[in-house]
Amino acid sequence: MALQCRLSGATFQSLKLATIPISSSSSRFIFRTLPKTLNLALFSRHSAPKAPPFSVLIRNLSAPAVAAAPAAETSDIKVVKPQWNAAIDFKWIRDNKEAVAVNIKNRNSNANLELVLQLYDKMLNLQKEVERLRGERNNVANKMKGKLEPSERQKLIEEGKNLKEALTTLEEDLVKLRDELQIEAQCIPNLTHPDVPIGWEDSSKLRNMVGSPRKFDFPVKDHLQIGKELDLFDFDAAAEVSGSKFYYLKNEAVMLEMALVNWTLTEVMKRGFTPLTTPEIVRSSVVEKCGFQPRGENTQVYSIEDSDQCLIGTAEIPVGGIHMDSIVAESALPLKYVAFSHCFRTEAGAAGTATRGLYRVHQFSKVEMFILCRQEESDMYHEELIKIEEDLFSSLGLHFKILDMATGDLGAPAYRKFDVEAWMPGLERYGEISSASNCTDYQSRRLGIRYRPSESPSTTSKKGKTNLAATKFVHTLNATACAIPRMLVCLLENFQQEDGSVIIPHPLRPFMGGVEAIYPKSR
């Protein structure tokens, strides 16, 4: 009632807004992509009453058209418009709803499949109704072309006008319905590879292990102590200048970071990947389309004040954006990129001893691999990516295990995810140094990246029309080739010597001017 009192003559407008069914599920941030406009909707969605499903149709038949009132005046309950649309295959979801429901459950996602299906049904019905009315309006228009009595003409004009108003209202409702369907459906996580174990972290399956933990015959130091003694980093000054979890690298650590980046890029380029450096400030919509949530609670994403821009947490985002909203020739696939960038993460919600030193920081350098490929080939390229990682980390002499991550640990975009955990003797545990995900078409449906399968020669003709094959969505994959801080932890802790020095792995030496070890400096 308060809504109506606030308005002076736009009451029906407010009713329209109030009766769009609003879902009441809460705490769904974890797995879904949030449109930017959710800020306002967050609170209203939790408090809005669940309206009866068919109110839209009922109301429309009785409401006369009104001039649109400015949205700002109308109500507390705002209809949320998604900033962008994902090309979601609703029909497929409906036809496979049991599988989708099981997947949602296994992934511990809070996506509301029931609501999506309801909205989809309503939308289909509304579409039919709109088409019917359009047909009637066309009939009326056709009738008016002939010779008519003035009174008959007048009746038709009236009828035409009523139909037009009703149509306008229905079309507006259709738009709102589509918007809400989008928002709900965007929450549905990607499907899961059949071999992926179901459960949480403990259920992740060991794919293989390389090497074994080094046996030390002297007390093992952690990377922080080594770094202090060799004057390799400064966390204290950074805490004053920037805050906790920031750091300066100094002396040989700087050269080591450069060598790691340089060597990694060179190695991956040899395997046919195109090297890139990327923007580290991107539009928040691109972040969302890749499956991250810039504005969720405990978001990992830094936002820039007074803008729609964010800092990237991984080069996956700007690289994913390169072919946004485009159709790639099939012959161009696979597109393989290896990108070097700095990455920024808020690490909100992360606490505890596992965050000491370089293990969890707000800013770091990373070399990332990214592949766009044909649908049938993504499993194969996933294997290729994890093989490259295995080769890189073995070359450096690390001991590590590769895990097939369980459904609860996948995150919304990944169809399948392999994590590499390397042995960190100073921390006395395995720590994640890399992750390789096959996102199939989850990101490409949001980023709008398609490919056109090559036409067979028989359908191409110089004269007349070419029969173009229908486009398909590419599959995208991403994998960490080198995350510098974790790599530094591994190298320092694994290759420390009793005299306090650290041996540089052979492959890196040429990229560091031939330096063979980092020695304690005499002071």
Where are the alpha helices (H) located in 97-191, listed in sequence order?
Answer: 97-106, 113-143, 150-185
Q: Is 188 in the site for another protein (CB under 8 A)?
A: no
Paired tokens of 235:
């966390």
Residue 364 marked ligand-binding:
yes
- How many residues are listed for the chain in this entry? 523
Q: Is 321 in the site for another protein (CB under 8 A)?
A: yes
Q: Is 206 in the site for another protein (CB under 8 A)?
A: no
Q: Which is nearer to another protein, 71 or 237 (CB)?
A: 237
Residue 363 marked ligand-binding:
yes
Q: Which is nearer to another protein, 111 or 489 (CB)?
A: 489
Q: Which residue has the tokens 């449906």?
A: 445
Query: In whole angstroms, how far apart are CA 175 and each of 38, 48, 481?
Result: 17, 20, 43
- For another protein, which residue of 87, 102, 304, 348 counts as binding (CB under 8 A)? 304
Yes or no: say if 399 and 471 are a contact pair by the CB < 8 Å rule: no
Which residue spans within 363-452 are E strands per DSSP? Answer: 363-373, 400-404, 416-424, 429-438, 449-452
Other CB atoms within 10 A of residue 518 CB: 26
- Residues 216-235: x/- map of binding to another protein (CB under 8 A)? ------------------x-
Convert 390-400 to b/e letters by CB count within 10 Å (16 or more is b): bebbeebbbbb
Other CB atoms within 10 A of residue 53 CB: 12
Contact residues for 285 (Cβ-Cβ < 8 A; gap 6+): 36, 83, 84, 308
Residue 368 marked ligand-binding:
yes
**Which stretch in 39-47, 158-166, 243-251, 434-442 sits in contact with another protein by CB under 8 A?**
243-251
Where are the alpha helices (H) located in 341-428, listed in sequence order?
Answer: 378-395
Contact residues for 153 (Cβ-Cβ < 8 A; gap 6+): 144
Minimum CB–partner distance for residue 468 and another protein (Å): 23
Tell which phi-psi region holds residue 243, choosing left (phi > 0), alpha (psi between -120 and 50) or beta: left
- For another protein, which residue of 63, 123, 156, 322 counts as binding (CB under 8 A)? 322
Q: Alpha-carbon distance 395 to 393, whole Å? A: 5
Minimum CB–partner distance for residue 228 and another protein (Å): 16
- For another protein, which residue of 265, 392, 424, 483 counts as binding (CB under 8 A)? 265
Dihedral (Cα; 175, 13, 35, 277), 10-degree rounding? 80
Identity (one letter) of the amino acid at 352? G
Minimum CB–partner distance for residue 44 and another protein (Å): 22
Minimum CB–partner distance for residue 39 and another protein (Å): 12
- Residues 332-351: x/- map of binding to another protein (CB under 8 A)? --------x-x-x-------
- For another protein, which residue of 94, 248, 271, 452 counts as binding (CB under 8 A)? 248
- Residues 361-400: x/- map of binding to another protein (CB under 8 A)? -xx-------------------------------------
Q: Is 96 in the site for another protein (CB under 8 A)?
A: no
Decide the pairing of beta strands 502-503 and 517-518: antiparallel
- For another protein, which residue of 57, 65, 220, 324 counts as binding (CB under 8 A)? 324
3-state class (DSSP) for residue 36? coil
Q: Is 23 in the site for another protein (CB under 8 A)?
A: no
- For another protein, which residue of 513, 514, 522, 523 counts as binding (CB under 8 A)? 513
Residue 400 marked ligand-binding:
no
- For another protein, which residue of 160, 199, 211, 279 counts as binding (CB under 8 A)? 279
Which of the 8 DSSP states describes residue 205?
E
- For another protein, which residue of 24, 208, 242, 497 counts as binding (CB under 8 A)? 242
Nearest alpha-carbon partner for 481 in 363, 364, 397, 388 = 388
- For another protein, which residue of 325, 383, 428, 516 counts as binding (CB under 8 A)? 325
Minimum CB–partner distance for residue 338 and another protein (Å): 9
Q: Which is nearer to another protein, 215 or 270 (CB)?
A: 270
- For another protein, which residue of 84, 247, 473, 495 counts as binding (CB under 8 A)? 247
Which of the 8 DSSP states describes residue 466?
-
Other CB atoms within 10 A of residue 177 CB: 23
Residue 264 marked ligand-binding:
no
Yes or no: say if 413 and 512 are a contact pair by the CB < 8 Å rule: no
- For another protein, which residue of 220, 255, 328, 350 counts as binding (CB under 8 A)? 255
Q: Which is nearer to another protein, 189 or 321 (CB)?
A: 321
Minimum CB–partner distance for residue 275 and another protein (Å): 4
CA 512 to chain centroid, in Å, comes to: 36
Residues making up the annotated binding site are: 314, 345-347, 361-364, 368, 432-435, 478
- Catalog residues that contact another protein under the rule CB under 8 A: 234, 237-238, 240-243, 246-251, 254-255, 257-258, 261-262, 265-266, 274-283, 286, 302-306, 309, 311, 318, 321-325, 340, 342, 344, 362-363, 513
Residue ranges for the binding site for L-serine?
Answer: 314, 345, 368, 478
